[in-house]
């Protein structure tokens, strides 16, 4: 069951096809989608209706980390949903040593090298490159073609825009956001938005834990 009838929801549905996994349908809180269909699959209710499908595994297909976190937490208040971990067959991962948390989605062409740790409900998008000894915490989103050098620490709720590159050894602090195409050469601060090459402070965003 996919939570979120959105663009990324379509990509998760496509990934399920590639994995040979049956998708029962979508859950979404948009009242305009109620009892309708999306991507040729039924919309079977809102997020709070998940307990009617307790036999299913769920994937929260929402790109924004803050929204994804709130949806997971709201579901857990109603019970103990099972969350699927989906890894595209074309992704290159050393599964013997890589730790991957529940609810995480790793898309086509992603490469994770040696001793990588990936938390829960993480989105690693198409063609991302993740170097050795990288630690990715919960609710992180990496947009397509992100490059993380070795020993990068990506703390909870970080969002990295498409084609951004992060220098080895940097720490992306909780809730920070990296603009598309940016080159990060130093640590970010909590809830900081940085842009450019080299990436510089742009503004502050809302507290990830608010």
59 and 82 Cβ atoms separated by less than 8 Å: no
pLDDT band at 34 (very low <50, low <70, confident <90, very high): confident
Q: Which of 3, 5, 8 is nearest to 141 (CA)?
A: 8
Q: Region 105-112: what's the mean pLDDT?
A: 97
- pTM (two decimals): 0.96
Residue 88, pLDDT > 80, answer: yes
pLDDT at 86: 97
Q: Region 13-27: what's the mean pLDDT?
A: 97
154 and 141 Cβ atoms separated by less than 8 Å: no
Residue 11, pLDDT > 90, answer: yes
pLDDT at 96: 72
State what percent of residues in the chain have pLDDT above 90: 94
What tokens were used for 44?
């079977």
What tokens were used for 50?
């998940």
Which member of 121, 132, 151, 201 is catalytic?
A: 132
In SS3 terms, the chain reads as CEECCCHHHHHHHHHHHHHCCCCCCEECCCHHHCCCEECCEEECCCHHHHHHHCCCEEEECCCCHHHHHHHHHHHHCCCCCEECCEECCCCEECCCCCEECCCCEECCCCEECCCCEECCCCEECCCCEECCCCEECCCCEECCCCEECCCCEECCCCEECCCCEECCCCEECCCCEECCCCEECCCCCCCEEEECCCCEEEEECCCCCC
pLDDT band at 94 (very low <50, low <70, confident <90, very high): confident
Active site residue 201: no
pLDDT band at 201 (very low <50, low <70, confident <90, very high): very high
pLDDT band at 85 (very low <50, low <70, confident <90, very high): very high
Give the tens place of pLDDT for each residue, 129-152. Answer: 999 999 999 999 999 999 999 999
pLDDT band at 97 (very low <50, low <70, confident <90, very high): low
């Amino acid at each position: 069951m996919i939570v979120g009838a959105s663009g990324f929801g379509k990509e998760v549905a496509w990934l399920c096809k590639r994995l040979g996994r049956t998708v029962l349908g979508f859950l979404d809180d948009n009242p305009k989608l109620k009892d309708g269909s999306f991507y040729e699959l039924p919309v079977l209710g809102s997020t709070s209706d998940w307990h009617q499908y307790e036999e299913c595994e769920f994937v929260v297909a929402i790109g924004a980390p803050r929204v994804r976190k709130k949806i997971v937490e709201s579901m857990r208040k109603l019970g103990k949903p099972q969350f699927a971990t989906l890894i595209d067959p074309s992704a290159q991962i050393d599964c013997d040593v890589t730790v991957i948390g529940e609810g995480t989605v790793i898309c086509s062409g992603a490469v994770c090298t040696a001793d990588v740790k990936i938390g829960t409900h993480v989105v690693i998008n198409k063609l991302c490159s993740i170097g050795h000894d990288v630690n990715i915490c919960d609710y992180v989103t990496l947009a397509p073609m992100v490059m993380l050098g070795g020993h990068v620490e990506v703390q909870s709720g970080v969002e990295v825009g498409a084609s951004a590159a992060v220098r080895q050894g940097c720490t992306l602090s909780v809730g920070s956001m990296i603009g598309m195409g940016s080159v990060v050469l130093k640590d970010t601060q909590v809830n900081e938005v940085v842009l450019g090459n080299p990436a510089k402070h742009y503004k502050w965003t809302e507290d990830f834990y608010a």
